[in-house]
């Protein structure tokens, strides 16, 4: 798909690479040359956010979703999904476990589920605040109205994650259909979140069918100008029960890719993480679960060695976790929270990295 280049632009620590140089590096496939990119990203990470890896305990609160995202396994039209919504007491138990494991942040994620009512979530947030000593709470509940976002901020939420997925408008509209009468404008929601005092996070998927090298270079330029606290970057993973997953499989079988298609590989994802680290030296960049799936042996380690400084261990109870299948084989679906925690701690020790203490917001590491 990509063509090897005769030479790659030089790199320095916290290099302000031009957009052209960024795109050049995205196309670089020579492993020996890529070592220079990995090293520059790792050194920038070390210099700006240190060796601490911040752990964010992830709780998948509900897999109900009103949306029809063509990439996502829990889209409304997937009737093969057994739906669940965790009771408040279970969410509270997960929060206590996060504290017991020493995680600074609890992340509450769900489909865009209006069965999660404003007051219910506000009450859960107040309870987490009063009944546990968690340092920070992040929400990732989709494109909720301002009144909800305001109430949850008041109730104790600190951060909100909303990936814009791709800056290619046409591609975004195709994979993320609007709800009736409501145009999806995630950039506008991100600005509102910041105005409400949230630390905002965004991100993209890498290798969406139809996504080009040039458009990913544009995504990285957007990150450069956005002042986000967290940027999540993971490979697009085709889910067979989704329209995009089926398109991916048809194209894969026929070798029929759009011109300039960016691959959804581990290496491509790592290039995007590394270049994002150079563009936003002090941002929090997770080594994503999706990345750990495309290379089960080394994906998470590579994420942490090529720019990443955050991991999100899953705390969702096992029975529900296997029903939150946004992509197939979500990592560690059958592993208990203890087992996941143990393997992450062992990984950090083997990489010579420490566990972050406290909230681990942007700027807290220095
Ligand atoms: N509903 C919220 C939202 O849309 O922001 C939060 C949950 S959503 C499942 C979280 C993220 O999962 C999305 O932003 C998307 O990037 C990622 N995701 C969903 N399906 C995926 C797939 N097939 N491959 C990789 N990432 C996927």
pLDDT at position 15 over 80: no
At residue 332, the pLDDT reads 55
Backbone torsions φ then ψ of 286, nearest 5 degrees: -75, 145
At residue 364, the pLDDT reads 75
Residue nearest to atom 21 of ligand 1 (CA): 72
At residue 76, the pLDDT reads 98
pLDDT at position 13 over 80: no
**Choice from 166, 326, 331 to test ligand 1 binding pocket (greatest atom count within 8 A of CB):** 326
pLDDT at position 97 over 70: yes
Q: How far is the CA of 72 from the centre of ligand 1 (A)?
A: 6
Q: How confident is the model at residue 7 (pLDDT cuts 50, 70, 90)?
A: low
Q: How confident is the model at residue 1 (pLDDT cuts 50, 70, 90)?
A: very low
Give the ligand 1 atom nearest the CA of 205: 16
Give the ligand 1 atom nearest the CA of 237: 24
36-53 pLDDT, tens digit each: 999 999 999 999 999 999
pLDDT at position 133 over 90: yes
At residue 129, the pLDDT reads 98
pLDDT at position 273 over 80: yes
Supply the DSSP string of 282-335, one letter for each residue: TSB-B--HHHHHHTTTTHHHHHHHTT--EE--B-S-HHHHTT--SSTT-TTTTS
Residue nearest to atom 3 of ligand 1 (CA): 142
Q: What are the structure tokens assigned to 194, written together?
A: 């910041």
**Choice from 62, 72, 149 to test ligand 1 binding pocket (greatest atom count within 8 A of CB):** 72
Residue nearest to atom 20 of ligand 1 (CA): 72
Give the ligand 1 atom nearest the CA of 245: 23
At residue 3, the pLDDT reads 45
The structure's pTM equals: 0.95
Cα–Cα distances (Å) from 269 to 21, 85, 199, 272, 308, in that order, read 17, 31, 24, 5, 12
**Mean pLDDT score, 170-199:** 97
At residue 334, the pLDDT reads 81
Q: Which residues pair with 160 in a beta bridge?
A: 139, 200
Q: What are the structure tokens assigned to 308, written together?
A: 């990443």
302-348 pLDDT, tens digit each: 999 999 999 999 999 999 999 999 998 764 568 899 999 999 999 99
Q: How far is the CA of 238 from the centre of ligand 1 (A)?
A: 12
Q: How far is the CA of 62 from the centre of ligand 1 (A)?
A: 13
Percent of the chain residues topping a pLDDT of 90: 90
Show the CA angle centred on residue 362, arms to residues 356 and 366, nearest 5°: 60
308, 273 Cβ separation under 8 angstroms: yes
Pocket-forming residues, ligand 1, beta carbon under 6 Å: 71-72, 109, 111-112, 140, 142, 162-163, 165, 205, 234, 236-237, 239, 290, 326-327
Mean pLDDT estimate for the chain: 94
At residue 12, the pLDDT reads 64
Residue nearest to atom 25 of ligand 1 (CA): 236
**Choice from 64, 74, 205 to test ligand 1 binding pocket (greatest atom count within 8 A of CB):** 205
Q: How confident is the model at residue 16 (pLDDT cuts 50, 70, 90)?
A: confident
Residue nearest to atom 14 of ligand 1 (CA): 163
At residue 363, the pLDDT reads 75
Measured distance CA(12)–CA(140) in Å, rounded: 34
Q: How far is the CA of 83 from the centre of ligand 1 (A)?
A: 16
Give the ligand 1 atom nearest the CA of 111: 1
**Mean pLDDT score, 154-163:** 98
Q: How far is the CA of 9 from the centre of ligand 1 (A)?
A: 33
Percent of the chain residues topping a pLDDT of 70: 95
198-244 pLDDT, tens digit each: 999 999 999 999 999 999 999 999 999 999 999 999 999 999 999 99
At residue 288, the pLDDT reads 97
Task: Identify which of 296, 320, 349, 361 has the alpha carbon closest to the alpha carbon of residue 62.
Answer: 320
Residue nearest to atom 8 of ligand 1 (CA): 111
Q: How far is the CA of 326 from the centre of ligand 1 (A)?
A: 7
């Amino acid at each position: 798909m990509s063509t090897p280049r005769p030479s790659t632009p030089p790199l320095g620590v916290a290099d302000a690479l031009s957009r052209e140089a960024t795109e050049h590096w995205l196309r670089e496939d020579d492993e020996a040359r890529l070592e220079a990119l990995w090293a520059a990203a790792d050194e920038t990470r070390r210099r700006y956010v240190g060796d601490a890896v911040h752990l964010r305990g992830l709780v998948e609160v509900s897999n109900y979703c009103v949306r029809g995202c063509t990439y996502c396994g829990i889209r409304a039209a997937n009737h093969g999904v057994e739906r669940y919504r965790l009771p408040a007491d279970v969410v509270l138990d997960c929060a206590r476990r996060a504290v017991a494991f020493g995680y600074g942040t609890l992340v509450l994620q769900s489909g865009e589920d209006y069965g999660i009512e404003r007051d219910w979530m506000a009450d859960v947030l107040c309870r987490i605040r009063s009944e546990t000593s968690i340092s920070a709470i992040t929400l990732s509940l989709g494109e909720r109205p301002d009144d909800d976002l305001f109430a949850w901020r008041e109730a104790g939420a600190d951060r909100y994650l909303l990936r814009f997925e791709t800056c290619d408008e046409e591609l975004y509209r195709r994979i993320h259909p609007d709800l009736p009468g409501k145009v999806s404008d995630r950039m506008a929601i991100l600005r509102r979140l910041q105005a409400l005092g949230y630390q905002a996070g965004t991100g993209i998927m890498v290798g969406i069918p139809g996504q080009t090298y040039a458009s990913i270079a544009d995504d990285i330029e957007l990150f450069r100008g956005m002042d986000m606290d967290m940027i999540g970057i993971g490979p697009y993973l085709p889910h067979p029960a989704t329209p995009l997953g089926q398109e991916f499989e048809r194209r894969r079988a026929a070798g029929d890719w759009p011109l300039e298609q960016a691959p959804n590989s581990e290496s491509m994802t790592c290039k995007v993480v590394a270049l994002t680290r150079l563009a936003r030296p002090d941002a929090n960049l997770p080594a994503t679960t999706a990345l750990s799936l495309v290379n089960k042996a080394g994906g998470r380690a590579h994420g942490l060695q090529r720019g990443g400084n955050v991991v999100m261990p899953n705390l969702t109870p096992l029975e529900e976790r296997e029903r939150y299948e946004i992509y197939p084989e979500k990592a560690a679906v059958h592993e208990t929270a203890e087992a996941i925690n143990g393997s992450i701690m062992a990984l950090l020790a083997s990489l010579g990295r420490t566990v972050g203490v406290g909230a681990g917001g942007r700027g807290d590491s220095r």
